[in-house]
Structure 1
Amino acid sequence: MTFQEFNFKNNLQKSIDDAGFKEPSPIQQDAIPVILNGKDIVGQAHTGTGKTAAFALPILNMMTCNNEVEAVVVVPTRELAMQVSDEIFKFGKNLGINTATVYGGQSYSRQLKHIANASVLIATPGRFLDLLRDKKINIKPRYVILDEADEMLDMGFLDDIKEIFTFMPEERQTLLFSATMPNAIKQLAKTILKEPEFVTITKSEVTNSKIKQTYYVVDEYERDAALIRLYDFKNPEKSIIFCRTKKEVDRLSTFLVSQGYSAKGLHGDMEQRQREEVINAFKKDKLEILIATDVAARGLDVNDVTHVFNYHMPFDSESYVHRIGRTGRAGKEGAAISIVSPHEFKMIQKIQKATGGKLEAKIIPDIKSVKDIKTNKLVSKIKEQKVYDSALEVVESLKEEYDISTIAFKLASMLTNSTFVKGNNNIGKSKKDIERLIANIARTGGNDRSGNDRSGNRRRPRGGSRNGGRNRNGGAGSRNRSNSSSSSSNRRKH
């Protein structure tokens, strides 16, 4: 199926074509016809499955563009509000549709000015409810959309959502999208929707088949070394690294910058202005690496992310799906790389079972493998390099003292500094270690009481000496341990 088959307005179809969209995703294919028929809908689909376009395209197609707010989209976070606004504006630009984004931390007067000129309002619950209660706005939207409803429930916005709907007109089309369907969301749907149709993306469709998923097993102290080695080996154009905690984001971003990488962190404790600057820099390719917590990156929509790295595994499969959904967007291929310790290994099995996806175990490349890639890249770059007059002058000057071969060797020696590979030759578990780990999990369910750890090695007694920090060549391993705190992110207010 193609988007042409929905028979959208010509100007809307042009925006779809300009965005490079060819074939609708499963949620788009199932939800769009229902919405175009004027029905309320409950859509169960994870982030990264194309939900925004699933509701935005049919709504934009049905809008009359009468210079008043016709549609309201309620979302849990500021970041998602900005992303949804950007996408709706992108699709609606040829229709003359403006969007307004409303969230806490900005002046009321500025937001009210934008609302006055908007056809679509995207808002977080707290600020939107404030505007409605204080009668700063009086809108009667024909379409009301709740996006990431379960996230709003988790963040404590359920009562706000219920109150928001007391201000909405009876005659409306209501759309609710949620990754999961806890009882509270089901009850909410019964209250605010009229005879809705249900669209659910099955487990086999949860993870994008164009995303190659791999994982690497390391000891805890090897995480930083493993990340650097994998980054140098994969050589991603644009990537996101996910961490569990804000503290870890700050530490890792500082570490990567110290290693010469263009990286910045993103988390909830940053000021709104800082967050917007980081996101815009990442979007505009002024930043190679974004390091983020799950909450901060929810709804982040950047189509050209080539790689996603899980520095630690998330706590549940839904977060995993959300993370890897940042790559492989708009029909492009992507890569999801997870760094796991033996103690996190059971999570791999849970994720595979929950998502229906396949995560392939890999061995972290040795120094020669990375050096070969860097050398080949350097050779290609030299071949493509244009020769300038200033370079000829340098060579002619050197020829007074050296023959041409010596000059070439000296220049090549300068360039090959970029092919240097840091760290131990071998990082992480071997293929046999991983096979033993998989067999052990299958045999014991991860509850080995034999005195072995999950990799099959003897556990170190309490208070005993630590000898696991030696690499396979007998050298001392790094002692730089990462913070592996498993505390969940604090609730954020918007």
Structure 2
Amino acid sequence: MSTFKDLGLNEDLLTAIDDLGFETPSDVQAKAIPILLNDDSDLVALAQTGTGKTAAFGFPMLQKIDVNSRTTQGLILSPTRELCLQITNELKLYGKYCKGLNVTAIYGGASITEQARQVKRGTQIVVATPGRMKDMINRNMVDISKIEYAVLDEADEMLNMGFYEDITDILSHTPKDKSTWLFSATMPNEVAKIAKDFMHAPIEITVGNKNESTNQVSHEYYLVNARDRYQALKRLADANPDIFSVIFCRTKRDTQKVAENLIEDGYSAGALHGDLSQNQRDLVMKSFRNKQIQMLVATDVAARGIDVDDITHVINYQLPDEIETYTHRSGRTGRAGKTGVSMVIVSKSEVRKIKQIERIIKKEFEKKDIPNGMEICEVQLMSLANKVHNTKVNHEIDKYLESINELFEDTDKDELIKKFFSVEFTRFFNYYQKAQDLNVSDSKGSDRQVSADETRYFINVGRKDGYDWMSLKDFLKAVLELGRDDVFKVDVKDSFSFFNTDKSIQEKVLTFFTDFKHNGRFVNVEVSDDKGGGRNRGGRSGKKRRGDRRSSRRSDRSSSGGFAGSGNRKDRRSSKKSKSVSDRPRRSRRRK
């Protein structure tokens, strides 16, 4: 096994490596560092998140630049502010014995004039996000015309975020004879195009297989009804009392909402997304690194800067839009030689995506059941017992023992133990004793039937009106002011559709759609006899209901103008949305 000294690094860097406690190089470091030190060629390095890519390009760049010159010689582009700051801090640690070294972070959300001032003082290496870097170039605040080394870190993510044009523009201001090093976790076509357009005969190294997940992470999925997604999340958290996790949502809005719900329910949680200020993001990340937050709910973009080695679980509350993004998510855990678990909460319509992900990461998912209430109670009880057993005695309690002993002098050992543990056990038992089974069978048609606590409706709009299942669901949620999962089992046909809600809001739905017009057309909603398969083409119940006076207007509806469908989604989403009533009893706040 090679050492860092074997790779050819100089004494200043080796001393810093000893201070940092690094013992042996990772696979990507062992492969990349000798190439970058000895050659001036371009490089494409494919390796999973958490494998030490920053050191793989950081050590060679620090050794090759001239610290006695005030000219900017190295440029590192990264997709997010968090990752930009992380790389900057690591380079400063690696180069702590390189006298005269200056590394400057350039990113949005901070003073552009202060960043320009730091560069002008003499910065050998600039670490930047593409947007802010392009802005500073256009303002003539930074000169990269003489750089010798350009690094595209997390290249696939930068391209997913739409930075291709920014990267193109930035690189056009750099010398053609520079060395370009591209580091990425996956190799989609866009990354291959970057390599072809901006690199000359690059050397390619791969740690593991392209796009493949690390062996340190196991993959599980849990099949539930869409409306039970949040309850499933809470159970997974309760079933893992020592969880230290990142929970991924697709949108900033969902990220904030899930985090707020978790905090309201007594969990140690926080949100990380693009709508937060830089100061707010820094505070959240500081709390997470200090484990004051056990469950960090994040968007894919914001999570790019998370560099925490002991994350136990990644929970995919929602699967990403781009399947390849799953590789980045799961890479948040199982880092630095540790094992981790990547969990996915899916509804039945999403199971096919699991198969697609399996093909990409070349790993199989294990289907698991959401634990039931009594299983969680047992896990929590034994977790508390182990914590008590392993707790170091604080002898400051000795002076209170006499009073405590007097209080329990008539209590035997078994009864005392029961009383002690019942304090925590009773809380979970009362919450979970009547908890329903959240699991759904993955056999065909098993979740297509309407249960006793659901109502299925017919609505006289469909694909011809510009709707698919998602846009119709968005419309219904907006006009009815319902929560994300209160409308489910949406089935869109050509000229009509079906959808479900809980029976408890049936009256609200029917009342709202009594004589309801949208864009001059009546929208008819009735309770349906269809059981979810859509075979009953009429789909309506024979029972008359109030509001049937609208039947006299049938001809008016059919002859009225077109019905606005997905084209109005932006307006509908901005409609006021009331808080849904959910099963969220207060729980005592858990902190480490």
Other-structure match for 2:94 = 91
Any residues of structure 2 matched to 1:390-401 within 5 Å, and which?
A: 390-398=399-407
Q: 1 CA distance for matches of 2:10 and 2:373?
A: 55
Q: After superposing the two structures, state which structure 1 stretch, 74-83 or 185-194, moved more.
A: 185-194
CA 1:246/1:234 → structure 2, altered by over 3 Å: closer, same or farther?
same
- For the 8 Å contact 1:370–1:421, the answer to whether it is kept is no
Change (3 A) 1:261 1:187: closer
Map of 1:125 onto structure 2:
130
1:377 to partner: Cα distance: 2.3
Higher relative contact order, structure no. (Cα contacts within 8 Å, ≥ 6 residues apart): 1
Q: What CA distance in whole angstroms lies between the structure 1 residues aligned with 2:41 and 2:126?
A: 21
Q: Structure 1 pair 19/369, CA: closer, same or farther in 2 (3 Å)?
A: farther
Q: Is the 8 A contact 2:218 2:340 kept in 1?
A: yes
Q: 1:65-214, aligned counterparts within 5 Å? A: 65-66=67-68, 68=70, 69-96=72-99, 97-115=101-119, 116=121, 118-139=123-144, 140-181=146-187, 185-201=191-207, 203=209, 206-214=212-220
The 1:311/1:66 distance shift into structure 2, 3 A limit, reads same
Q: Secondary structure at the match of 1:301?
A: coil
- For 2:439, the equivalent position in structure 1 comes to 429
Structure 2: distance between partners of 1:217 and 1:459: 16
Deviation (angstroms), 1:127: 1.9
Which of 221, 232, 241 does residue 235 from structure 1 map onto?
A: 241
2:308 aligned with 1:302, yes or no? Answer: yes
Q: Does 1:261 align with 2:267?
A: yes
Shift of 1:130: 2.6
State how far apart, in whole Å, the 2-side matches of 1:43 and 1:50 are.
Answer: 12
Aligned to 2:355: 349
Counterpart of 1:89 in structure 2: which amino acid? K
8 Å CA contact 2:227–2:486 kept in 1: the answer is no
Residue 12 of structure 1 corresponds to which residue in structure 2? 13
CA contact under 8 A between 1:2 and 1:22: conserved in structure 2?
no
**Alpha-carbon RMSD:** 3.2
Aligned equivalents of 1:415, 1:332: Cα separation in 2: 31
Pairwise CA distance, 1:352: 0.7
Q: Distance in 1 between matches of 2:405 and 2:335?
A: 51
SS of the residue corresponding to residue 6 of structure 1 reads coil
SS in 1 for 2:104: strand
What is the rounded CA distance, in whole Å, between the counterparts of 1:135 and 1:16 in structure 2? 36
Distance 1:137 1:458 in 2: 60
Match of 2:590 in 1: none
Give the C-alpha shift of residue 308 in structure 1. 0.8
TM-superposed CA distance for 1:417, in Å, is 4.2
> How far off is 1:230 after superposition?
1.2
Among 456, 465, 478, the residue aligned to 2:455? 465
Q: Is the 8 A contact 1:47 1:299 kept in 2?
A: no
SS at match of 1:317: coil
- 1:8 Cα offset (Å): 2.0
* Inter-partner Cα distance in structure 2 for 1:408 and 1:176: 59
Give the Cα–Cα distance (whole angstroms) in 2 for the partners of residues 197 and 89 of structure 1.
27
Which amino acid counterpart does residue 298 of structure 1 have in structure 2? R
Q: 1:54 aligns with which of 36, 56, 71?
A: 56
211-220 or 146-155: which moved more? 146-155
Post-superposition shift, 1:52?
2.3
Q: Flag structure 1 segments of 5+ consecutive residues without an equivalent.
A: 437-451, 468-478
CA 407–14 in structure 1, closer or farther in 2 if over 3 Å, else same: same
Letter in 1 for 2:267: Y
Deviations 1:294-320 (A, max 9, x none): 111124221121211111222333111
Deviations 1:206-225 (A, max 9, x none): 21111122111111122122
Q: Please give the per-residue CA displacement for 1:280-299, whole angstroms capped at 9, x wherever unaligned.
A: 22123232111011111124
Q: Compared with structure 1, are the counterparts of its residues 64 and 170 closer, same or farther at alpha carbon in structure 2 (3 Å cutoff)?
A: same
| Structure-1 separation of matches of 2:55 and 2:487 | 37
Aligned partner of 1:40 in structure 2 is 42
Q: Using the TM superposition, give the Cα deviation of residue 239 of structure 1 relative to its aligned residue in structure 2, in angstroms.
A: 0.9
Query: Any idea what SS the aligned residue of 1:422 has?
Result: helix
Q: TM-score, normalised by structure 1?
A: 0.81
1:92–1:98: 8 Å Cα contact kept in structure 2?
no
In structure 1, C-alpha distance between the alignment counterparts of 2:113 and 2:243, rounded to whole Å:
40
Structure 1 residue 273, shift from structure 2 partner: 2.0
The letter of the residue matching 2:439 is: K
Letter in 2 for 1:52: T
Q: For 2:91, give the aligned amino acid.
A: I
CA contact (8 A) 1:85 1:101 kept: yes
**Residue identity (%):** 37
Question: Residue 311 of structure 1 corresponds to which residue in structure 2?
Answer: 317
The 1:344–1:94 alpha-carbon spacing in structure 2 relative to 1, beyond 3 Å, is farther
**1:59 and 1:483 mapped to 2: Cα distance?**
54
**Aligned equivalents of 1:460, 1:384: Cα separation in 2:** 49
Cα distance, 1:308–1:188 mapped onto 2, change above 3 Å: closer
Shift of 1:262: 1.2
Q: Structure 1 residues 185, 305: CA separation in 2 closer, same or farther (over 3 Å shift)?
A: closer
**For 1:42-96, what per-residue CA distance to the aligned partner results, in whole angstroms no more than 9, with x for missing partners?**
2344544433232122222333322533321012222221222233233333445
Give TM-score, length-normalised by structure 2.
0.69
Do 1:218 and 1:427's aligned partners in 2 also have CA atoms closer than 8 Å?
A: no
CA displacement, residues 170-223 of structure 1 (integer Å, 9 cap, x when unaligned): 442211234555666545434433332123455477211111221111111221
Residue aligning to 1:28: 29
The structural deviation recorded for 1:263 is 0.7
Structure-to-structure mapping, 1:348-367, within 5 angstroms: 348-367=354-373
Cα distance in structure 2, aligned partners of 1:398 and 1:6: 67
Does the 8 Å CA contact 1:371/1:419 hold for their aligned counterparts?
Answer: yes
What residue identity is the alignment partner of 2:88?
S
2:65 to 41, 63, 66: 63
Matched to 1:371, the amino acid is: C
SS at 2:345 equivalent: strand
Residues 1:10 and 1:414: Cα distance change in structure 2 (over 3 Å): same
| Structure whose alpha-carbon radius of gyration is higher | 2
8 A Cα contact 1:32 1:55, kept in partner: yes
- Cα offset for 1:102? 0.4
Q: In the superposition, relative to structure 1, how do residues 368 and 415 fare at CA in structure 2: closer, same or farther (>3 Å)?
A: closer
1:172 is matched by which residue type in structure 2?
K
Aligned residue identity for 2:116: L
- Letter of the 1:63 partner, please give it: I
